[in-house]
């Protein structure tokens, strides 16, 4: 199928636009993941928790690209889980997990029962089985 503009666009789209789309999609995925996990996928329950109408929540979740930090903070508090992570070199930064989301690469960590990370390596997602083996945490 001769999709001239598709190929040209994919080749020439500036990095900032690609990052914008990826970040927006990451946030959409995270919000829906948390909505399922904490509120059984029901916006109505999230609305009750936040003291807002269902329409307001729907509008909020639909306008993901216009999220302010304040909105994200409110949602994060309602879910009682973080939504975004900040990359920092601050010496007191305390990351328990590093999630690398990408088409081909996953970060695998072997975690001991006491939480110590024994090994970590990047592998192609195609070479991973669907079910991580025991003792191995897989992040994607």
Q: Which residues, 17 to 56, sit near other proteins by CB under 8 A?
A: 17-18, 20-22, 24-25, 28-29, 32
Total residues interacting with other proteins, rule: CB under 8 A? 28
Out of 68, 86, 89, 103, point to the residue binding other proteins (CB under 8 A): 103
Q: How far is the CB of 126 from other proteins (least distance, A)?
A: 8
Out of 37, 56, 59, 65, point to the residue binding other proteins (CB under 8 A): 65
Candidates 79, 72, 77, 64; CA nearest to 28 is 64
Is 7 an interacting residue with respect to other proteins (CB under 8 A)? Answer: yes
68 CB-side CA count, 13 A: 3
Distance CA 50, CA 35 (A): 13
| Residue 36 CA to its chain's centroid (Å) | 14
């Amino acid at each position: 199928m001769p999709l001239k503009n598709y190929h040209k666009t994919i080749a020439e789209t500036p990095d900032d636009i690609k990052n914008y789309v990826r970040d927006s999609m990451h946030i959409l995925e995270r919000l829906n993941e948390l909505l399922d996990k904490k509120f059984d996928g029901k916006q109505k329950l999230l609305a009750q928790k936040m003291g807002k109408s269902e329409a307001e929540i729907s509008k909020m979740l639909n306008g993901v690209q216009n999220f302010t930090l304040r909105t994200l903070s409110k949602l994060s508090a309602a879910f009682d889980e973080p939504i975004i992570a900040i990359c920092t070199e601050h010496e007191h930064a305390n990351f328990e997990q590093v999630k690398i989301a990408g088409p081909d690469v996953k970060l695998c960590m072997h975690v001991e029962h006491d939480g110590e990370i024994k090994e970590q390596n990047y592998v192609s997602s195609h070479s991973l089985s669907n079910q991580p083996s025991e003792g191995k945490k897989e992040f994607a």
